[in-house]
Amino acid sequence: MTNEYLTDYDAIVKTMQMYIDGSRQGKSGLMRPAFHPDASFFGYAGEQPATGTKFLFDWIDKNGPAPKIEARIVSVDILDSIAVVRLEVAGWSGNLAGLGVRMSDLFTLLKMPDGWKIIQKAFHWHA
């Protein structure tokens, strides 16, 4: 009982780390395992709505390395098999991102047999 929260919390942070690592290195392959195959992705890229994880993965690969990314986990809200994580990522750079941009993310995760998977990502780009 006592350890269940810690186990879940730490597993969720590990999943988020895959997303962060992929973002930093500009390699979608690093973050793909963190996502459920049916995961959704929403947000505005400029004034255009961006949807679908394919958009995300393509963007990450085209953007390339963003070595100065700094991420902070703002909240981890766990409800048994589901969780919501809010992430702040500052210091974005790269081919598409521009310099020193900040992004706020809301993730929903599902506890699967093979670990916590991101089932939804919504983002806000601080232009």
Chain residues that interact with another protein, rule: CB under 8 A:
1-3, 5-6, 9-10, 13-14, 16-17, 20-21, 24-25, 64-65, 67-78, 88, 90-91, 93, 100, 102
82-100 core/surface letters (b: 16 or more CB in 10 A; e: else): ebebebebebbbbeebeee
| Distance, CA of 90 to CA of 86 (rounded, Å) | 13
Amino acid at site 17: Q
Q: Is the Cβ of residue 55 or residue 102 nearer to another protein in the bound state?
A: 102
Scanning 1-127, the segments in alpha helix (DSSP H) are 2-25, 28-31, 53-63
**∠ CA 21-72-45 to the nearest 5 degrees?**
70
Q: Is the Cβ of residue 51 or residue 75 nearer to another protein in the bound state?
A: 75
CB of 82 to another protein, least distance (A): 15
CB of 48 to another protein, least distance (A): 26
Q: Is the Cβ of residue 50 or residue 115 nearer to another protein in the bound state?
A: 115
CB of 112 to another protein, least distance (A): 20
CB of 59 to another protein, least distance (A): 18
